[in-house]
Amino acid sequence: MAEPTVEVLSNLILEHSKSKDSISDTQIKTVPLDPSCTTYEMDGHWFKVMKAEPKNPNYTPLHREEYVLKTIDAFNRKTADLALHIPITKALFADASMEGVDRPYLLTEAITGSPLMKYMAQNNNIATPDILEAMGNDIGIFLARIHAISAKGCGLFAITGEGVHPGPWQKYFALVNESQWKHLKGSGVVDDSIIDKLAQMTIDNQSVMIGETVSLCHNDFQYSNMWIDPETKKLTGLVNYAQSGVGSPMADISSLYMHCSDENFWNKITESYQSIRSFPDKFEKKLAYYSYVFGLRAAWFFHMKKDEQTKGYYLRRAFEEASIFDDSFKAEAGKYASCTHPRVVGG
């Protein structure tokens, strides 16, 4: 696909942005957002275009993201306390194609700042007092607000705005897990006997999910999708909702927990989260259950990238959490004791 021209983007922005009657900045640059899309920025707007042809051109991940952004925007408008608003980029228009653009696209307002992952890579350590206070507080509050948005069904959003699976959540999660363990076997991330043991342990402990409710979930809640102001260290926005859907809040919480290698930072996040929304009963056991499942998925991702340091970090964390259910996993965690931090890379 050829890059969109200034004329194409100008016309689109003027047509769908109510606050614009002229274009003041005609410089087009690319922005590092969703790796499945190319994102162009011009005149305070982002224009995301899918890199690959979608299976359904009329309902793509970008259309899903448009739905989520509009849902959160509606939630923000109903929330009187501005300090509790979820920072998003406002969705303006999505379509399957247009003249000069042969792939699905999404036009939004832009977010200022840069990815938190970039800041971490440049500063080599996230555990500084300014970050702990400003960033940890923001992250916990905004995640809690996302989880306050109710939703129906389970899984990724369908065109109806409901999860593609009718539920209940426990049944959907079991189906996803069964597929994951099959996918991991033979991959070489760990011995297949370990995968079999974890798969059976997940089945044996499904009762830990009893009573869980579902809500809107980001489903990729990690540092590269959090944008900050490098000067104030405040969160300016959350991006990339193409994987969002309906699920247990524990899915987002455990993902963030496994990404977070600093205990003080994690404690700040959980403190601010619980100032808005309570954790469920038996939280520590639920957190361990979801975390070892996520940890193996993350380890496989970095195994495929041949990043042994980060793979080892996620395996260590996963086995530590799994040992809450089976003490023998402590020995597996010990094999990766030297992998204390993930490798941080930011552009």
Tell whether the model's pLDDT for residue 239 goes beyond 80: yes
pLDDT tens string 130-152: 667 778 888 999 999 999 998 89
30 and 75 share one domain: yes
* Residue at which a domain ends, from 68, 92, 109: 109
**What pLDDT, on a 0 to 100 scale, did the predictor assign at position 86?**
87
Which of 115-119, 124-128, 242-246 has maximum average pLDDT?
Answer: 242-246
Of residues 21 and 204, more confidence is placed in 204
Query: Binning pLDDT at 50, 70 and 90, where does residue 126 land?
Result: low
174 and 193 share one domain: yes
Residue 344 lies in a domain: no
Give the count of domains, the chain: 2
Residue 347 lies in a domain: no
**What pLDDT, on a 0 to 100 scale, did the predictor assign at position 346?**
59
28 and 92 share one domain: yes
102 and 151 share one domain: no
**What pLDDT, on a 0 to 100 scale, did the predictor assign at position 120?**
78
Q: 240's torsion region: left (phi>0), alpha (psi -120 to 50) or beta?
A: left
**What pLDDT, on a 0 to 100 scale, did the predictor assign at position 37?**
93
Q: What is the rounded distance in angstroms from the CA atom of residue 258 to the CA atom of residue 121? A: 18
**What pLDDT, on a 0 to 100 scale, did the predictor assign at position 338?**
95
pLDDT tens string 263-297: 888 999 999 999 999 998 899 999 999 999 999 99
pLDDT tens string 173-201: 999 999 999 999 999 999 999 999 999 99
Domain around 21: 6-109
88 and 128 share one domain: no
**What pLDDT, on a 0 to 100 scale, did the predictor assign at position 308?**
95
Q: What is the rounded distance in angstroms from the CA atom of residue 289 to the CA atom of residue 210? A: 13
Q: 291's torsion region: left (phi>0), alpha (psi -120 to 50) or beta?
A: alpha
82 and 124 share one domain: no
295 and 185 share one domain: yes
Tell whether the model's pLDDT for residue 250 goes beyond 80: yes
Which of 18-27, 28-37, 96-105 has maximum average pLDDT?
Answer: 28-37
**What pLDDT, on a 0 to 100 scale, did the predictor assign at position 1?**
62
Q: What is the CATH number of the domain that holds 321?
A: 3.90.1200.10
102 and 121 share one domain: no
167 and 144 share one domain: yes
Tell whether the model's pLDDT for residue 347 goes beyond 60: no
| DSSP string over 16-83 | H-TT-SS-S----EEE---TTEEEEEETTEEEEEESS--SSTTS-HHHHHHHHHHHHHHHHHH---GG
Residue 164 lies in a domain: yes
Query: Binning pLDDT at 50, 70 and 90, where does residue 85 land?
Result: confident
Mean pLDDT of 123-134: 66
87 and 136 share one domain: no
136 and 281 share one domain: yes
* Residue at which a domain ends, from 109, 128, 144: 109
138 and 210 share one domain: yes
Q: What is the CATH number of the domain that holds 29?
A: 3.30.200.20
| Side-by-side strand order, sheet with 226-228 | 114-115, 226-228, 235-238
Residue 345 lies in a domain: no
* Residue at which a domain ends, from 109, 124, 145: 109
